[in-house]
Amino acid sequence: MTFATAAAVSESFVPLSVPVDAGRAAVRGEFATVLTLRHAGARPVRLRYELVGRADAPVVVLAGGISAHRHVAANTEFAEKGWAEGLVAAGRALDPASLRILAFDFLGADGALDVPIDTADQADALAVLLDHLGIDRLHGFVGYSYGALVGQQFAIRHRARVTRLVAVSGAHRPHPYAAAWRALQRRAVALGQLQCAESHGLSLARQFAMLSYRTPEEFGERFDAAPEVVNGRVRVAAEDYLDAAGAQYVGRTPVEAYLRLSESIDLHRVDPAAISVPTVVVAVEGDRLVPLADLVGLVEGLGPFGSLRVLRSPYGHDAFLKETDRIDAILANAFRTPGENA
Amino acid sequence: MTFATAAAVSESFVPLSVPVDAGRAAVRGEFATVLTLRHAGARPVRLRYELVGRADAPVVVLAGGISAHRHVAANTEFAEKGWAEGLVAAGRALDPASLRILAFDFLGADGALDVPIDTADQADALAVLLDHLGIDRLHGFVGYSYGALVGQQFAIRHRARVTRLVAVSGAHRPHPYAAAWRALQRRAVALGQLQCAESHGLSLARQFAMLSYRTPEEFGERFDAAPEVVNGRVRVAAEDYLDAAGAQYVGRTPVEAYLRLSESIDLHRVDPAAISVPTVVVAVEGDRLVPLADLVGLVEGLGPFGSLRVLRSPYGHDAFLKETDRIDAILANAFRTPGENA
């Protein structure tokens, strides 16, 4: 195979030559550029991406939550598990044998960009990335959570470059209650930073975030055991799980990345009427971060360009990552529907 | 008037002599005793109470959330506002002109009892307090939130001493999701203690608790403004409110009181079938801490002794403190229904 390595494509565009049958083959790259950010002016940034699938296939961008990254699924080049394992796979709507799947690390994800980052900035970064890769137009943009917000901005700011949008569990603006929840997570980080317990604070923030990502139904089923008194302190059944979730997150997330991307969700505000790309909005009933009513508001604002799919899941905001079969069915349907100029 | 002062009744029982028309008159007292606690053995404690209303009237105990205390409402002796202002008032179901209202500081509320405290311990403390005051039997026990848990325990452990129970927004056991939420609040306190920023940690814990006490509906209405970027950081609309809530709480709450009473909620587990006192269970649809389904479970377990009232309120778990007219109507009805041996 003739894949460029990440090092080889760094700083310059290397045309890709991918065998037609190499559906799972992939290439990574990164390059430096300067972006003008909405809240912080011109800043040097590095853009990092991974592209998997046939070179001649239509390109679909897949963008996830603030903890997601460019590696969506294991492939022949990069064997580690990705964050959308099971959704990007043979036989799925996002099958690398028939589509080229592009994913990228969000601006700020490396912790090196310690300024307010807007979802508009992410959309502009993607446009620069597409130029870099010689991709004129996307067959689709599938965004989940934060990725859905970025997709909305991309549809507004780079209208001519995308045929359809699937926006899962992300509204045109954050709900004030969810924004307050995130603000308190950021305060937990700040408390940790007071005296060199930065990772402790980040862990606590992540644990609070987990409560917003999941549902009481799931906790009710999993953590039904009676509390224990350990060393004179009460310890409830979910604490082992929360400890593990916090520790795992701290091990892979720079504090500044967490803070700036969390803020970025709260900065997001777009006018749905400004989106004129066919858009499938997917809502999860029971999502405690993104209420169904807000996604109904988004669809109403989209007018003729919007349609709504609702699913109920005990996984709440995390349903996209957990309800693989049901999400895949929704994506398959979305890609069967003709996009504009598809 | 002939009221004993708090100092005068301290350490000893002073029979009360209250004029028949002095419905708003009140007496406070406190005394030392030794209680055998479920998780910590025999401990010296101080019990503090306030009693308001006619000496010859039936006695009703009113017990609130973990932040509540013995002063339920302003009266002629103690003019400061209480935590149940508006519910204990002339013309209300809890009118000191027709009932004697007894309230007490929870064990641990002074921060001096730094051990696991069970709701059973609170019920036993109340029994000791009733002995001290020469009160054989309660006309009723009205408990809200933590107070509802204490009421359940009192009905089980001191069956002969209470005629009816009204249990508002408190189930027979905590929901695992709510328990996890509280555990993380306690972790915020622990993080603050690690940083020599104890009040900072307590403030953050309280702010997280506020999210569980209120609802997204209320936040959606109150905090709809766009975020601001202040000193390079994103600040969302609810943060001023959360700051104030945290600061106010820190000013009046010992850290150990908060930790031990928060734990106490999570230690609570009773068998509803063990309660054989007529009980009105009041549930608030939309309460994020105590789901309606759990209160339905409580009522089912109560069998012939239970009845359910449900109200919907944007104030969620705090509805008892906010929906004064509707709660009063429920209480009036509960007290019109004959209790056993009433």
- What percent of chain A stands above pLDDT 70? 91
* Contacts with B, A 278-307, CB within 8 Å: 291
Q: Which of B219, B223, B236 to mutate to test the interface with A (most CBs of A within 10 A)?
A: B236
* Contacts with B, A 132-161, CB within 8 Å: none
What pLDDT does A253 receive?
94
Does the structure show a pLDDT above 90 at A40? yes
Report d(CA A187, CA B204) in Å as an integer.
Answer: 7
- Strands (DSSP E) found in B69-111: 100-104
Binning chain B into helix, strand and coil, the percentages to the nearest 5 are 40, 20, 40
Sign, CA dihedral B303-B307-B311-B315, equals negative
With residue A121 as reference, give the H or E element that holds it. Answer: helix A119-133
The upper half-sphere exposure of residue A139, i.e. CA atoms within 13 Å in the direction of its Cβ, equals 18
Does the structure show a pLDDT above 50 at B11? no
Mean pLDDT is lowest, of B20-29, B118-127, B164-173, for B20-29
Which residues of chain B have a CB within 8 Å of the CB of A222? 176
Does the structure show a pLDDT above 50 at A11? no
Instruction: Pick the residue from chain A with its C-alpha nearest to B243.
Output: A184
Report d(CA B83, CA A248) in Å as an integer.
Answer: 42
Q: Compute and round to an integer the Cα radius of gyration of chain A.
A: 20
Report d(CA A78, CA A256) in Å as an integer.
Answer: 26
* Contacts with B, A 210-249, CB within 8 Å: 211, 215-216, 219-220, 222-224, 226-227, 229, 232-239, 242
Q: Is B228 helix (H, G, I), strand (E, B) or coil?
A: strand
Mean pLDDT of B237-247: 96
Question: Does the beta-carbon distance from B223 to A176 stay under 8 Å?
Answer: yes
What does the block give as tokens for A46? 């590095």
Mean pLDDT is lowest, of A167-176, B15-24, B239-248, for B15-24
What pLDDT does A335 receive?
93
- What percent of chain B stands above pLDDT 90? 86
Does the structure show a pLDDT above 70 at B326? yes
Q: Which domains does chain B have, with CATH numbers?
A: 6-172+272-336 (3.40.50.1820), 176-265 (1.10.1740.110)
Which residues of chain B have a CB within 8 Å of the CB of A234? 116, 263, 266-267
What pLDDT does A9 receive?
36
What pLDDT does A233 receive?
95
- Give whole-number Cα distances, B341 to A72, A238, B56, B161, B286, in Å: 68, 43, 18, 11, 35
Catalytic residue among A118, A121, A124, A287: A287
The DSSP letter of residue B227 is P
How far off is chain A from B144, nearest CA to CA, in Å? 22
Question: Does the beta-carbon distance from A115 to B232 stay under 8 Å?
Answer: yes
Q: Which of A234, A258, A270, A294 to mutate to test the interface with B (most CBs of B within 10 A)?
A: A234
**Residue B128 — φ and ψ, nearest 5°?**
-65, -40
Catalytic residue among B69, B172, B268, B317: B317
Mean pLDDT of B184-196: 92
Which residues of chain B have a CB within 8 Å of the CB of A215? 177
> pLDDT band at residue B20, thresholds of 50, 70 and 90?
very low
Q: Is B257 helix (H, G, I), strand (E, B) or coil?
A: helix
What pLDDT does B18 receive?
41
- The amino acid occupying position B173 is R
B317 is catalytic: yes
Check: CB of residue A181 under 8 Å from CB of residue B219.
no
> pLDDT band at residue A194, thresholds of 50, 70 and 90?
confident
Question: Does the beta-carbon distance from B236 to A291 stay under 8 Å?
Answer: no
Question: Does the beta-carbon distance from B39 to A229 stay under 8 Å?
Answer: yes
* Contacts with A, B 42-101, CB within 8 Å: none
| Torsion, CA B259, CA B263, CA B265, CA B266, rounded to 10 | 150
Report d(CA B320, CA B325) in Å as an integer.
Answer: 10
The strand pair at B306-312 and B279-285 is best described as parallel
Sheet bearing B279-285, strands edge to edge: B26-37, B41-52, B100-104, B59-63, B140-144, B165-168, B279-285, B306-312
The DSSP letter of residue A325 is H
Which residues of chain A have a CB within 8 Å of the CB of B194? 195, 197, 200
What pLDDT does B5 receive?
35
What does the block give as tokens for B312? 């919907």
B287 is catalytic: yes
Does the structure show a pLDDT above 90 at A18? no
ipTM: 0.87
B200 CB within 8 Å of a chain A CB: yes
Report d(CA A240, CA A232) in Å as an integer.
Answer: 17
Question: Which residue in B35, B26, B103 sits closest to B68, CA to CA?
Answer: B103
CA angle at B242 for the pair B240 and B245, rounded to the nearest 5°? 110
Catalytic residue among B145, B203, B264, B313: B145
Question: Does the beta-carbon distance from B242 to A180 stay under 8 Å?
Answer: yes
How far off is chain A from B223, nearest CA to CA, in Å? 6
Question: Does the beta-carbon distance from B237 to A176 stay under 8 Å?
Answer: yes
Q: What is the pLDDT of residues B106-165, one digit of tens each?
A: 999 999 999 999 999 999 999 999 999 999 999 999 999 999 999 999 999 999 999 999
Residues 6+ apart with CB under 8 A from A236: A223, A227, B176, B179, B180, B182, B183, B266
The DSSP letter of residue B38 is T
Does the structure show a pLDDT above 80 at B217? yes
Question: Which residue in A49, A138, A143, A59 sits closest to A98, CA to CA?
Answer: A59
With residue A198 as reference, give the H or E element that holds it. Answer: helix A198-213
What pLDDT does B101 receive?
97
Does the structure show a pLDDT above 70 at B16? no
Q: Which residues of B219-250 are buried (b: 16+ CB within 10 A; e: fewer)?
A: bbeebeeebebeeeebbbbbbebbeebbeebb
| Torsion, CA B203, CA B209, CA B215, CA B220, rounded to 10 | 20
Instruction: Pick the residue from chain B with its C-alpha nearest to A228.
Output: B267
Check: CB of residue B47 under 8 Å from CB of residue B229.
no
What pLDDT does A20 receive?
40
Which residues of chain A have a CB within 8 Å of the CB of B115? 232
- Strands (DSSP E) found in A179-318: 228-230, 233-235, 279-285, 306-312
Residue written as token pair 């028939």: A98
- Backbone φ/ψ region at A150: left (φ over 0), alpha (ψ -120 to 50), beta: alpha
Which residues of chain B have a CB within 8 Å of the CB of A175? 216, 219-220
What pLDDT does A339 receive?
57
**Residue A216 — φ and ψ, nearest 5°?**
-55, -35
Q: Is B51 helix (H, G, I), strand (E, B) or coil?
A: strand
Integer distance in angstroms from the first to the last C-alpha of chain A? Answer: 31
Q: Is B307 helix (H, G, I), strand (E, B) or coil?
A: strand
Which residues of chain B have a CB within 8 Å of the CB of A181? 211
> pLDDT band at residue A4, thresholds of 50, 70 and 90?
very low
Mean of the per-residue pLDDT values for chain A? 91
How many CB atoms within 10 Å of residue A92? 22
Mean pLDDT is lowest, of A16-20, A249-253, B138-142, for A16-20
Question: Does the beta-carbon distance from A233 to B263 stay under 8 Å?
Answer: yes
Q: What is the pLDDT of residues B48-98, one digit of tens each?
A: 999 999 889 999 999 999 999 999 999 999 999 999 999 999 999 999 999
Binning chain A into helix, strand and coil, the percentages to the nearest 5 are 40, 20, 40
Question: Does the beta-carbon distance from A236 to B177 stay under 8 Å?
Answer: no
A180 CB within 8 Å of a chain B CB: yes
Question: Does the beta-carbon distance from A227 to B116 stay under 8 Å?
Answer: no
Question: Does the beta-carbon distance from A233 to B116 stay under 8 Å?
Answer: yes
Find how far residue B313's CA is from the centre of its chain: 19
- Backbone φ/ψ region at A196: left (φ over 0), alpha (ψ -120 to 50), beta: left
Catalytic residue among B118, B124, B287, B328: B287
